[in-house]
Amino acid sequence: MRDVIFLLGPNLDQLGRREPEIYGTLTLEDLSRYCESVAAEFALSAAVFQTNSEAKFIEAIHEAIGSFKAIVVNPGAFTHYSYAIADALAMFPGPKLEVHLSNVYGREPWRHRSVVSPVANGAIVGLGILGFKVAAMAVSGLLADIDAGAK
């Protein structure tokens, strides 16, 4: 079983082109390499998956059950309305961290609500790419706590 999967939602494949004043100039490829790198810093094996499809996002969560110990999720706009994704995440037994590159609370009012947060262990917003490093560190600590409790 691998340690963590980074699940990235809609429009994150447009990083580098999409609103660089908000999201910066990093690309999806840059973000994917960064996620794998920061996971390795915390001795975590990792995979990265991005899709613009809600159905594929849900299927990736289902496939993560029994294959990964933790999920770091940036559901993009699905964050604000996808109860189906929230339900799928609720089924996942391990730690779940929600990450957003931008400060969603400093943006449009419709972005202020997350249906994912109630099923996540925590949420990290507005730190840009650094949020994924914070999430990897948190996953490492949460998994260590789980392992310690199992002994």
Catalytic residue list contains 100: yes
Question: Long-range contacts for 87-90 (Cβ within 8 Å, ≥24 apart)?
Answer: 88/58, 88/61, 88/62, 89/61, 89/116, 89/119, 89/120, 90/119
Please give the Cα distance from 102 to 113 (Å, whole number). Answer: 14
Phi/psi of residue 49, each to 5°? -135, 130
Q: Check 23, 34, 80, 105 and give the catalytic one.
A: 23
Largest CA distance in the chain: 48
Please give the Cα distance from 51 to 109 (Å, whole number). Answer: 25
3-state secondary structure of 75: coil
Q: Check 81, 100, 105, 112 and give the catalytic one.
A: 100
Catalytic residue list contains 23: yes
Active-site positions read 23, 100
